[in-house]
Structure 1
């Protein structure tokens, strides 16, 4: 409430001081003593006059009747007339000095209670109640002044609340527009037009801080200045130091534009320039420059607060737009990486399998075994069909084909295919519950198993492979793929793009489902690949062991 100008008025103190000087002009004891003494004196006089009247009347009746009758009658008439006249005077003065002031006081109280605070008690000079009437009139004046001040304060409060409500509505609209702005240009246009309307600015510019300097990106209303456009821009070519360093709104009133060379203008116009920082978390992202006619400026303190809030909202919107653009860019990169992984784990694996089958085909051709030749050609044809299917699926959905009946059916197909293409015995042991995992989780699990089998086929020289799928009641899933091959010391690396990058991709896939991939291998001891991830389930699974023996 301290920012309300209505509360800073000195009217109360000034008026109360004046009232105190009038009210306590004489000491309260002296006024009470004077009033009591005067009232007692007047009452004593009135009572004495009444007593004298009664004595005169009594004396007129006590005169002997045998004493000169005519003289007695005349004397009685004189005494009675004098007594009646004296009594009338007593009644008149009593009504004037007591009854009439009380009637005026009662009427004044009635008017004051009715809201007529300007009512006054008639003051008779040198009357007994003159001081009291003056004091009551002063109280009435004080109440009237307090009422007027309260009304003025109420109007100021109403105006203040209306201004705050308008400011909040503006900020609410700007906050809502942040979520619907399609790009930076639309966003800045919205804020620029809004801030011009709020500040009654004739023109405005906005600069964004990029590459350690401020770049003009948007303007509004500068066409009104015609030839002065370039001059106006040069005035604030360098950023406002105070606004940038302290994040404050800066006013510059010492700008006087000569508009005599513009159509319809024959005078100089005093235009203030307001610099509003666009800040977000103590970082200056840009700057508003407003060109305002100082005659149209309202409450500067409230305007500065509102402009600063608009600048902060604009800074937040700019940062959000930048973050959205960065998120969109990262999303595109992630999609590209995802597509490359899918190509590596699906189509690339199929092509590798096709390469092995062609080698077998060469050996079959040399052996001149037609039956085996036709079988191998049929396998190659099936592999090409699978590659075509995977490629079409990648083009349409960017994901590998997963059997609609679940991950186990797709895994069995992978195992059967591995068994048909190699001379390695493979065992699949399932201890998973009969539930459906999320699609993305199924893809990542299958791709990790598929990449592991591809590495076994290419590098392990193994004779036996075991795949174990296990889970517990808390939804902890484990995938184990182990072989009895030659093993290795460290994962093989290569400078050739696309070769021997499977382990890194497998770890990335495990991280995408919140899991962990552990690779354990020693030379001559084979290799163990363990995938652990969580997905809470309620059903308890039964064990199903399936053995697929190779040739």
Structure 2
């Protein structure tokens, strides 16, 4: 019976003697079996790889150490991913090694007992090779998936921000990093769709290795037209990723720019938002031809979908902001009309009283009414000015809320010489829809207008606090206060309070008013989170 050591020693010697012959046969089998053949010269690369693999196998057979095989398989995994081959295709190629070796074993003058012993050792070695390669490939796929997950989460975090002014460059940077990781490429650029001029605008993206300035300039100087560039026209029409394995011969690709840049293979992925392509991600190779696996295409498509969510979210927010602004302008128009009508009624009454007093010769009393009339007109003018300021104040995002309120309070202090204090709970969750932001701002402005007109206060405080379900906005002054029941009984009484109540209720909240004569006034607006 032949021992294992003798079988492995003879197998190693046989492979060393016929290494070029076996490497050539293995490379030819792999080439013929491949679904994608980048070029005729690719066979030379396969021979080199096959010979390196055989040298690693020989080293393992001689020493019993698998270090050389581990290094070879790690490199093979990287090369196969960059070439666009599936792990199953590489596994098939590794198994073809046995067929190539068997041709040498079966053709030589070797005793049958040695033949079976060598086949047994060869099978054991190949089982380890295939198992280890699949382990490496699975680990690399998991790494890609984790990185893909991180890129998608990063973009979704951008999407969750309530803003219509997203930085598209930040989004594209995440897209580039995600697609480069998924497709195992070194660079990623963009074409931005210019619908007005019916063209694509080149935009340099990200690269993990330096690129010649000449290549970058060639890319930036080419503006594809969707009507004259079939490759990009297909992407815009079908809104799906598109692969060109050989850009040098593909009739869909502009051969002039391909030749100028030396492009070998291309992968382009559309970024689609609201059923329109707003940009095209483009990457590829310059030194070798390659394809892209279904898994790689799906991963790149996931990144593109995540980017679309970010852009669509910004678009929806912009639409909500417009609707909130439109509703607010209608509300302010009604308020201006009501306040102006009230002021005109008072002025009309005062003018009638003055005329009657003058007719009777009561000039001193007429002067008193005239002074009141001037004050009424002045207050009406102030109200109108503040209403116009409110119309010009464009605030509907959380990021604009606090700066807008603080700016308004600064102006209020300077204009009316009143001590105004703003306090915000440290962890106050300012996550509100546009309508709530607008109404919250207006409630504070209206409350301060009431303080100015009626309270005779020296100081006013504004506090923002919350619990798990509600945001509480408290406006409190140290003025003269009032008796609420008497105010509402007066003609046109409590207009400002009613306006604030309507604003709070429009958000599903309510307004609480706590006022007593000589004790100041506290108004609490409760708004659901």
TM-score range, shorter chain: 0.3 to 0.5
Structure scoring higher RCO (CA < 8 A, sep ≥ 6) equals 2
Structure 2 length normalisation: TM-score? 0.46
Which structure would you say has the larger Rg?
Answer: 1
Structure 1 length normalisation: TM-score? 0.45
